[in-house]
A and B are shown apart, each in its own frame.
Chain A
Amino acid sequence: MSLAVVGVSHHTAPVEVRERMVFGPSEAANALVTLRQEAEVEEAVLLSTCNRTEVYLFPNRDDRPIRSWETLLQRKAGQLDRRLSDYLFERRGDRVIRHLFQVSAGLDSMVTGEAEIQGQVRDAYERATTLPVDPPMAGPVLNRLFQMALSVGGQVRSETAIGEGRASVASVAVELARKIFGSLGGKRVVILGAGQTGELIVQALSREGVKGVMVVNRTYERAVELARQVHGHAMEMDRLAEALRSADIVLSSTAAPHPVLTRPVFEDAFPRGIHRPLLVIDIALPRDVAPDLGDESEVFLYNVDDLRKIVDEQVQLREGSVPEADRIIRAQSDEFRAWYASLEVVPVIRRMRGRANEVRHAELERLLRGMDHLTEGDRVRVEEFSRRLVNKLLHDPTVRLRKGMDRGGGADLVDAVRFLYGLEEGELPPLDGDG
Chain B
Amino acid sequence: MTHLLPLLFYIAAFILWVRCLIGGSRGRGPLVAGILTAMGVVAHGAALLRFWLHYGELPLVGFGAALSSLAFVGALALTVMLPFREMSRVAIALLPFIIVVQAVAVLLGVEPTPLVLDFEGAGFVLHVSLAFLGYQGLALAFAAGVLYLIQHHELKEKRLGRFFHFIPPLATLDRLARIGIWAGFACLTLALAFGWAWTVENRGSLEMGDPKVVWAVLSWFVFLGVLGARFGGGRNDYRGALAAVIGFGVVICTYLVLRLTVGGEGLFL
- Please list the residues of chain A having a beta carbon within 8 angstroms of any beta carbon in chain B: 158-161, 164-165, 172, 175-176, 178-183, 272, 275-277, 294, 297-298, 300, 302, 306, 309-310, 313-314
Please give the distance in Å from B209's CB to the nearest CB on chain A.
Answer: 40
Pull 30 A–B residue pairs with CB atoms less than 8 Å apart, ordered by A.
A158-B27, A159-B26, A160-B26, A161-B26, A164-B26, A172-B160, A175-B160, A176-B155, A179-B155, A179-B164, A179-B170, A180-B169, A180-B171, A181-B169, A182-B169, A182-B171, A182-B172, A183-B171, A272-B234, A275-B234, A275-B235, A275-B236, A275-B237, A276-B235, A277-B170, A298-B237, A298-B238, A306-B158, A309-B158, A314-B160
Q: A164-B165, A179-B164, A272-B234 are in contact. Are A302 and B158 (CB under 8 A)?
A: yes
Find chain A residues with CB under 8 A from B54 CB.
none
Return A247 CB to nearest CB of chain B, in Å.
16
Asked if B225 lies at the interface with its beta carbon under 8 angstroms from chain A, I say: no
- Contact A277/B24 with A175-B160, A176-B155 known, Cβ cut-off 8 Å: no
Distance (whole angstroms) from the CB of B66 to the closest CB of chain A: 36
B169 touches A178 (CB 8 A): yes
In the assembly, what is the distance between CA of A277 and CA of B239, in Å?
12
Which B residue's beta carbon lies closest to that of A183? B171
Also in contact, A277 and B237, with CB within 8 A (given A180-B169, A300-B156, A306-B158): yes
Residue numbers in B under 8 Å from A313 (CB-CB): 160
What 1/0 mask marks residues of chain B from 138 to 181 whose CB sits below 8 Å from any chain A CB? 00000000000001000110101000110011111000000000
Which B105-124 residues have C-beta < 8 A from chain A? none
CB atoms of B237 and A276 under 8 A apart: yes
Which chain B residue has the least Cβ–Cβ distance from A306? B158
Given contacts A179-B170, A182-B169, A276-B237, contact A161 B24 (CB under 8 A): yes
**Inter-chain contacts of B237 with A (CB < 8 A):** 275-277, 298
For residue A159, which residue of chain B has the nearest CB? Answer: B27
Which A residues lie within 8 Å of B234 (CB)?
A: 272, 275
Q: Are B24 and A181 in contact (CB under 8 A)?
A: no
Which of B24, B151, B235, B238 is the one whose CB lies under 8 Å from A179?
A: B151
Q: How far is the CA of A297 from the CA of B156 in the complex (A)?
A: 8
- What would 20 more interface pairs be, CB under 8 Å, given A178-B169, A277-B171, A310-B158? A158-B26, A160-B26, A164-B165, A165-B160, A175-B160, A176-B155, A179-B151, A179-B155, A180-B155, A180-B171, A181-B169, A181-B171, A182-B169, A182-B170, A182-B171, A275-B236, A275-B237, A297-B238, A298-B238, A310-B160
- Considering the complex, give the chain B residue whose CB is closest to the CB of A157: B26
The minimal Cβ–Cβ distance linking B132 to chain A, given in whole angstroms, is 29
- Residues on the B chain within 8 Å of A165, using CB: 160, 165
Task: Return B163 CB to nearest CB of chain A, in Å.
Answer: 11
- Closest beta carbon of chain A to B86's beta carbon, Å: 8
**Chain B residues with CB below 8 A from A275, complex form:** 233-237, 239
**Contacting pair A164 B155 (CB below 8 A):** no
Complex Cα gap A50–B88 (Å)? 39
Residues on B with C-beta less than 8 A from A181 are 169-171
Task: List residues of chain B with CB within 8 A of the CB of A297.
Answer: 238
Chain B nearest CB, measured from A81 CB (Å)? 43
Residues in chain B near residue A314, CB distance under 8 A:
160
Considering only CB atoms, which chain B residue lies closest to A302 in the complex?
B158
**B165 with A300: CB separation less than 8 A:** no
Q: Which residue of A lies closest to B152 (CB)?
A: A297
Contact B158 A164 (CB under 8 A): no
Complex formed: what's the CA distance from A245 to B152 in Å?
22
Complex alpha-carbon distance, A268 and B168, angstroms: 32
| Distance, CA A401 to CA B261, complexed state (A) | 77
Complex-state Cα separation, A98 to B174, whole angstroms:
46
- Of residues 212 to 239 in B, which have CB atoms within 8 Å of A's CB atoms? 233-239
With most chain A CB atoms within 10 A of its CB, the pick from B24, B235, B239 is: B24
Which of chain A's residues has its CB closest to B168's CB? A182
Residues of B within 8 A of A310 (CB): 158, 160
Contacts of B236 in A (CB 8 A): 275, 298
Q: Which residues of B contact A298 (CB under 8 A)?
A: 236-238
Which residues of A sit under 8 angstroms from B171, Cβ to Cβ? Answer: 180-183, 277
Complex-state Cα separation, A272 to B233, whole angstroms: 10
- For B165, list chain A residues within 8 Å (CB): 164-165
A179, A276, A297 — most chain B CB neighbours (10 Å): A179
Set of chain B residues within 8 Å of A300, measured between Cβ atoms: 155-156
A276 to B236, CA, bound (A): 6
Across-interface contacts of B233 in A (CB, < 8 A): 275
Q: Which of A182, A300, A310 has the most CB of B within 10 A?
A: A182
Give min CB distance, B189 to chain A, whole Å.
26
Q: Which residues of A contact B239 (CB under 8 A)?
A: 275
**CB closest chain-B residue, reference A313:** B160
Hey, which chain A residues are within 8 Å of B235, CB to CB?
275-276
A160 to B151, CA, bound (A): 23
User: In whole Å, how far is A157's beta carbon from the nearest beta carbon of chain B?
Assistant: 8
Contacts of A183 in B (CB 8 A): 171
- In angstroms, Cα B155 to Cα A304, docked, is 15
Q: Which residues of B contact A159 (CB under 8 A)?
A: 26-27
**Bound: A300/B157 CA distance, A:** 9
**CA separation between A302 and B236, bound complex, in Å?**
22
Q: Which residues of A contact B155 (CB under 8 A)?
A: 176, 179-180, 300
Q: How far is the CA of A313 from the CA of B239 in the complex (A)?
A: 31
The CA of A309 and the CA of B238, in the complex, are separated in Å by 26
Query: Closest CB-CB distance, A156 to chain B, in whole Å?
Result: 10
Interchain CB contact under 8 A, B169 and A179: yes
Query: CA–CA, A180 to B155, complex, Å?
Result: 8
Instruction: Report the nearest B residue to A294, measured CB to CB.
Output: B156
Closest to B171 in A: A182
Taken together as a complex, chains A and B put the C-alpha atoms of A181 and B168 apart, in Å, by 10
Give complex CA distance A314, B239 in Å: 31
CA distance A310 to B169 in the complex (A): 18
Question: Which residue of A has the minimal Cβ distance to B240?
Answer: A275
Closest residue of chain B to A175 (Cβ to Cβ) is B160
Q: How far is the CA of A160 from the CA of B238 in the complex (A)?
A: 33
Residues of A within 8 A of B160 (CB): 165, 172, 175, 310, 313-314
* A158 CB contacts on chain B under 8 angstroms: 26-27
